[in-house]
Structure 1
Amino acid sequence: MKNLFISAAIVLGGLTSFASTSPITNTIVKAVSLQDDYVEINVTEVPAAVTDALKKAYPDAVLSKAYKNSSSQYKLEITVGEKAGFLYANADGSWVKNK
């Protein structure tokens, strides 16, 4: 009889650990969108050094939009085939790494 009570206590004790609930925590993720200080300009306003560097590096690229910041750096929206992307260049045509 003693073994029956001990077995029942062990079984019931083991079940209670599975029945306990873990606290629910809410994780809030905030996405912050930073705008760069580039202002859209006409594609014809891009310096010749930049367009020449673009033609040399990507001969099949089509320049769709251009942007300029206060440091005279240019953000170029280009398409090559079916792929689109951005390139960054200084006014002298040297490439700048994406920030």
Structure 2
Amino acid sequence: MKKLVFATALAIGSLGTITATATTPIFHDGIMEGIFAQDFTEIKIAELPEAVTKALEKDFPGAAITKAYVNEESQYKLEVTQENGKTLELHADAEGNWLEM
């Protein structure tokens, strides 16, 4: 019975280790960051799909895009400055639908 309890505890403990290493933090310059699979490449603002820019105009009137990025899945990351000076990071698909990231 003790062996069964020990084996179960060992198995459960190893599952926690596997999960923890899936988002292993990295360190550089004394700052810890998680490794994420989202690789965005900066693009020119003029290269954004019209649906994305229209969605921004509709949902965030007066906001200006300062930088734009795209990933392999045609998802866009926008760095936006609102009229009041507040900055936002927004994510959208090519059809102009906002994404939670």
TM-score class normalised by the smaller sequence:
0.5 to 0.7
How many residue pairs get aligned? The number is 69
- Could you state the TM-score of these two structures normalised by the residue count of structure 1? 0.65
**Structure 1 Cα separation of the partners of residues 85 and 64 of structure 2:** 11
Please state if 1:96 is matched with 2:99: yes
**Structure 2 Cα separation of the partners of residues 59 and 34 of structure 1:** 34
Overall identity of the aligned pairs, in %: 43
**Structure 2 Cα separation of the partners of residues 86 and 70 of structure 1:** 18
Of residues 84, 89, 99 in structure 2, which corresponds to 1:86? Answer: 89
Q: Comparing 71-80 with 30-39, which one deviates more in the overlay?
A: 30-39
Question: Which amino acid is the alignment partner of residue 77 of structure 1?
Answer: E
Q: Tell me what 2:74 maps to.
A: 72
Runs of at least 5 residues in structure 2 that lack an aligned partner in the other structure: 1-26
**Structure 2 Cα separation of the partners of residues 88 and 56 of structure 1:** 15
Q: Comparing 82-91 with 30-39, which one deviates more in the overlay?
A: 30-39
Which residues in structure 2 correspond to 1:56-71 (within 5 Å)? Answer: 56-71=58-73
- Could you state the TM-score of these two structures normalised by the residue count of structure 2? 0.64
Question: Which amino acid is the alignment partner of residue 54 of structure 1?
Answer: L
Structure 1 residue 33, shift from structure 2 partner? 3.9
Of residues 45, 48, 51 in structure 2, which corresponds to 1:49? Answer: 51
Aligned-residue Cα RMSD (Å) equals: 1.4
**Structure 1 Cα separation of the partners of residues 56 and 86 of structure 2:** 15
Structure 1 residue 48, shift from structure 2 partner? 0.2
- Secondary structure of the corresponding residue to residue 96 of structure 1: coil
Structure 1 residue 46, shift from structure 2 partner? 0.2
Please state if 1:32 is matched with 2:33: yes
